[in-house]
Amino acid sequence: MTLEFLAPWYPTLKALHIVSVISWMAGLLYLPRLFVYHCSAEAGSVQSETFKVMERRLLRAIMAPASIATWVFGLAIPLSGAIAWTDGWLHAKLALVVLLTWLHHLMVRRWKEFAADANTRSHRYYRVLNEGPTVLMLIIVFLVVLKPF
């Protein structure tokens, strides 16, 4: 399926997609770092309350809109006809981005626990969580630039 009127906008859609990706990735890489330090802040302390504000703003003002924009502009590109829906690299990329989106929602669940002073996980758990988006980003970017299949 393609929408002809989108065809001339392909370069603009790709630019908007890359800007959204950068914003989303910045949040996915930074939020687990905040969780690592939040683990050692006492519940109810000024430090813990400050982390809560930082986490909420990062999630709501940056990560949520950027993730939606990444999907909208990412899907608008094949809709414009510039890229074929049948390309193998696009299927592999979409599967990895679904995993990245799952990680985003896992972080939302952890944030809600911190917001309720109910986090039970260690800083080591969040250091490992931090590696997830890094590894996925590396594979996704090589897939879309090299288009190996």
Footprint of ligand HEM (CB under 6 A): 14, 17-18, 21, 25, 70-71, 74-75, 77-78, 82-83, 90, 93-94, 97, 100, 137, 140-141, 144-145
Give min distance, CB of 43 to ligand HEM, in A.
34
CB nearer ligand HEM, residue 43 or residue 106: 106
Three-state SS at 120:
coil
- Nearer to ligand HEM among residue 39 and residue 129 (C-beta): 129
CB 90 within 8 A of CB 78: yes
Distance, in Å, from the CA atom of 61 to the CA atom of 145, rounded to the nearest integer, reads 29
Q: How many angstroms separate the most distant Cα atoms in the chain?
A: 56
Whether residue 2 contacts residue 89, with contact meaning beta carbons closer than 8 Å, is answered with no
CB of 90 to ligand HEM, least distance (A): 6
Residue nearest to ligand HEM (CB): 74
